[in-house]
Amino acid sequence: MSSGRYLGALAAAAVVLVLTVPAFAEEPDGSVSLGLSFGVTTAQMDDVNHLISLGNASIGSGSMSGREGLKDLTGGFEFAAELRARLSPWLVVGAGAQSVLFKRRIAYNYIYEANVSAVPVEVTAYWYMPWGAQLHENLDFFAGAGFTSLSSVEVTYHAERDRPGEEAFDRTEELIFKGSGAGVHVRGGFEFLLTPRVTFLGEVGYRYAKATDLKWKGGKEKHITDAQDQDLEHFTLGYLESFGGPKTLDADFSGLDGKVTFRFYLF
């Protein structure tokens, strides 16, 4: 299912909740809460997609001629946990961490994978707006802005040859880049009271954040330098190296995201 279809399903679930949950005519019981979220996200990833295109050139050469390569990394999934504290009826501050993953994979006699992962840590100020109650007594709208720290950023391009019964020809190779980055984000959404201590949130936002100059951490470097091995003539990493594959790259996480959250008011 595409990212757009996931967003549509999330929006439909939000509408069902708003129409079926009875009104409580009160605020959540507590000022500190923990939210658990699932969502979809987009990103630009120009450098990473260029790396994929080099690998696709290898897939389209030699014995792999005519095979379809990996598609660009444009969308992924995120899981998040966030603590929020209400400082006033209209001001809430939050701090949380996410796990973001972008992944592409194809498998023939070869297996090719491109993965990008990161742990964005965010600090956000939210402004709650009073006019949500005009639509439903359980409903609040909010907007927020804050800072993003990208930690544990890792880009992995993995290539594996697996020939059953021909183990002598098996190869496993990886290009691995690691680093960190920073940025900012904005988002808006609604919070809907399900019970006095549980709410449901729907959010959309935009993150402007990039991890720059990720360093090549190698991986299976012995295969990269083994350029004279005939078994590696059309193998991905030897191909990337011979055509000047990158030693550093950027991972651009800038893009839209959408997520749903169940928030539990603790005290």
pLDDT digits (tens, 9 = 90+) for 106-126: 887 778 889 999 999 999 999
- For the stretch 69-89, what's the b/e string if a residue is b when 16 or more beta carbons lie within 10 angstroms of its beta carbon? bbebbebbbbebebebebeee
DSSP 3-state assignment of 6? helix
- Which residue, 133, 136, 103, is CA-closest to 117? 103
> To which residue do tokens 């498998």 refer?
107
Q: Which stretches of the chain are DSSP H helices? A: 3-20, 46-59, 221-225, 236-242
Backbone φ and ψ of 73, nearest 5° = -80, 110
pLDDT for 177-194, tens place per residue?
889 999 999 999 999 999
CA 119 to chain centre: 9
DSSP 3-state assignment of 11? helix
Which pLDDT score is estimated for 65?
A: 59
Q: Any idea what DSSP says for residue 27?
A: -
| Class for the domain spanning 3-21+51-255 | mainly beta
Which pLDDT score is estimated for 231?
A: 39
Which pLDDT score is estimated for 213?
A: 86
Which pLDDT score is estimated for 131?
A: 80
State which residues of the chain have pLDDT below 70.
1-26, 58-66, 161-171, 217-247
Which pLDDT score is estimated for 144?
A: 98
State both tokens at 254: 């800038």
> What is the C-alpha separation between 96 and 118, in angstroms, rounded?
14
DSSP 3-state assignment of 43? coil
State both tokens at 7: 């967003």
> To which residue do tokens 């969308």 refer?
75
- Which residue, 113, 141, 112, 111, is CA-closest to 129? 141
- Which residue, 250, 208, 201, 234, is CA-closest to 56? 234
